[in-house]
Amino acid sequence: MRFVDEFRDPELAEVLGREITALCEPGRHYKIMEVCGGHTHTIYRYGVQDHLPEDIELVHGPGCPVCVIPMGRVDDGIAIAERDGVILTCFGDMMRVPGGRGSFLEANARGADIRMVYSPLDALRIARQNPDRQVVFYAIGFETTAPSTALTVLRAAQEGIENFSVFCNHVTIIPAIKAILDSPDLRLDAFIGPGHVSTVIGCRPYEWIPRDFAMPLVCAGFEPLDLLQSVYMIMKQFADGRAEVENQYSRVVHYDGNPVALKVLADVFALRPFFEWRGLGSIAHSALKLSPKYAHYDAELRYDLPGVRVADPKACQCGEVLKGVLKPWECKVFGTACTPETPIGTCMVSSEGACAAYYNYGQYAKQRLTLEVLK
C-alpha cells in the first residue's frame, strides 16, 4: 500500500494543519472550492476540514459527473432503452439518477434492458456478443472519462462494429469553472483543481484563472494529505502575494497533460454549442458530441429522442449545492425526503455527490460541531 499509506499519515496531517494555520492572515476568511467530486468524497470521508482552521472554508463544486446530468437527458436514455432490440449500457451511479419518468433502475423493472458497465469497452464487448441487438453506451463524465469513450468509438470503427452507438453526455470542466466565477451568488478565493481531469488536459487550461481573477489554483491528488498539501500551497501563494497554477499531483499529472489522449478527443468529439447542466443551466461550449467523422456512432442521430427539458423538482436545491452556494445540510429536503435510498436530486445519488458524501460521512463532523457548541 505504498502509494496510499504515506498520504494518510495522521501525524503529518496535524503538522500540515499547523503550518496552514500559521499562514492564515488574522481576520480573513478564505473560501476554497474543490471542483472535483472525488475531492469532496475524500474531504468528508477523512474529515479533512477538521484539520483546517475555522477561517478556511472548503466549498464543494460542480465536478460530480452524475450530479450535473439534467432530468431530460435521463428521460432520453429511457426512451432509447425502451425501443425494441436495444441494450442500453451505463456506469453504476447512473442507474439511480431520477428523471422525469423515473430512473434507469425503474425502467429496467418495466422491462427495458439496461446494464451496468465499468468501461465503455465493456459496452462494445456486449455489442460483439449480441450482433442482433443495438447496444448504446450512455456516456457521462468529464475529461477523465471522455478518452475511454473516444477510444471505444475508434475500436468500434476499426472493427466495423455497426450495432454500437454512444449517447454522449460528456462535459468539460473549464466552462463550468467559468460559469461558477460568473455567478453573482458566490465569492471564492482559490480553487483546488481536479486531479484526474488534469491528467488528461494538463494544468495550462487553468492559467486564465490566476491571470484574470488573481486566484490561485492547485491541481490536487485524492488522498487526505494531497488535499491538505494543496491547501498549504494555496495559502503559501496568498502569504507570498502570488496567484498561480501549481501542480501538487505531479506523480501523475504532467503540466501539458496527455497529448495522445487530447488528440484522440479532438478527433472523435466536437464541442456542442450549448449543453444544459443541472443547477448551472445552459453553458456554451461545455459538452461534447461525436464529431462528423464518427457521427455514424451518435445515438442522438440514430434514434428519434424526446429531447424535452424537464424542470428539477421544486424541493430540490441541487443547483445551489453544485454552485457551492448552499451546504448539503442547508437544503430543505436533505436527509428527510431526499436520502441515498430515495434521492430527489442527483447530488444525493453518486458517492461523489456533495449531499451523498455528507450524508454518509459528514454527520460525524456535525456531531463534533454540536458537541463543541454544547461545551
Partner 1 sequence: MSDPGVFVSGASCSAEPGCITCGDVAVILTVATVAGSDASCTDEQGRKEQVATELVGEVRPGDRVLVHAGVAIERLSAEETGG
Strand partners, 57: 31
Using DSSP's 3-state secondary structure scheme, residue 137 falls into: strand
Quick one: which H or E segment has residue 270? Answer: strand 269-271
At 373, the amino acid letter reads V
Which triple of cell numbers denotes residue 72? 431530460
Question: Rounded to an integer, what is the distance from CA 237 to the centroid of its chain?
Answer: 26
CB of 63 to partner 1, least distance (A): 7
C-alpha cell at 258: 496527455
Tell me the number of residues near partner 1 by CB under 8 A.
Answer: 62
Sign of the CA dihedral 249, 251, 257, 258? Answer: negative
Tell me how far, at minimum, the Cβ of 4 lies from partner 1, in Å: 6
**At which residue does the C-alpha cell 491571470 appear?**
211
46 binds partner 1 (CB under 8 A): yes
Residue indicated by cell numbers 448504446: 136
Grid cell 460521512 in the structure block, residue: 361
- Of the candidate residues 96, 278, 289, 323, the single one contacting partner 1 (CB under 8 A): 96
User: How far, in Å, CA of 172 to CA of 286, rounded?
Assistant: 5
Cβ-contact 335, 304 below 8 angstroms: no
375 binds partner 1 (CB under 8 A): no
What backbone phi and psi angles, to 5 degrees, belong to 266?
-65, -30
Grid coordinates representing 233? Answer: 500551497
Q: What is the DSSP string of 29-61?
A: -EEEEEEEHHHHHHHHHHTGGGGS-TTEEEEEE
Using rule CB under 8 A, residue 170 touches partner 1: no
CB of 207 to partner 1, least distance (A): 21
> Binding to partner 1 by residue 16, rule CB under 8 A?
no
Selected from 63, 319, 345, 362, the binder of partner 1 by CB under 8 A is: 63
Binding of partner 1 by 147 (CB under 8 A): yes
Does 358 contact partner 1 by CB under 8 A?
A: no
Burial per residue of 242-258, b for 16 or more beta-carbon CB atoms within 10 angstroms, e otherwise: ebbbbbbbeeebeeebb
Considering only the stretches 189-197, 203-211, 294-302, 329-337, report the one whose residues sit in contact with partner 1 under the rule CB under 8 A: 189-197
Residue 140 binding partner 1, by CB under 8 A: yes
From the list 30-38, 71-79, 183-191, 329-337, the region that binds partner 1 by CB under 8 A is: 30-38
The answer to whether residue 248 forms part of the interface with partner 1 (CB under 8 A) is: no
Query: Is residue 249 a contact partner of residue 198, using CB atoms and an 8 Å limit?
Result: yes
Q: Is 160 in the site for partner 1 (CB under 8 A)?
A: no
Residue 174 touching partner 1 (CB under 8 A):
no
Nearer to partner 1, 170 or 243 (CB): 170
Tell me how far, at minimum, the Cβ of 38 lies from partner 1, in Å. Answer: 5
Q: Which of 36, 80, 114, 179 binds partner 1 (CB under 8 A)?
A: 36
The sheet with strand 190-193 has its strands ordered as: 56-63, 30-36, 190-193, 217-219, 245-247
CA–CA–CA angle 368, 369, 370 (5° rounding)? 90
- Per-residue contact string for residues 192-231; x = within reach of partner 1 by CB under 8 A: --x-xx-xx---------------------x-x-------
User: Using CB under 8 A, which of 151, 219, 235, 355 touches partner 1?
Assistant: 151
CB of 69 to partner 1, least distance (A): 10
The interface region with partner 1, picked from 54-62, 91-99, 282-290, 317-325 by CB under 8 A, is: 91-99
Contacting partner 1 (CB under 8 A), which of 45, 133, 178, 327?
Answer: 45
With CB under 8 A as the contact rule, the residue among 15, 214, 239, 260 that binds partner 1 is 260
Q: Are strands 217-219 and 190-193 parallel, antiparallel or unpaired?
A: parallel
Binding residues for partner 1, per CB under 8 A? 1-4, 8, 10, 13, 36-38, 41, 45-47, 51, 63-66, 91-96, 105, 116-122, 140-142, 144-145, 147-148, 151, 154-155, 194, 196-197, 199-200, 222, 224, 251-254, 258, 260-261, 264, 350-352, 356
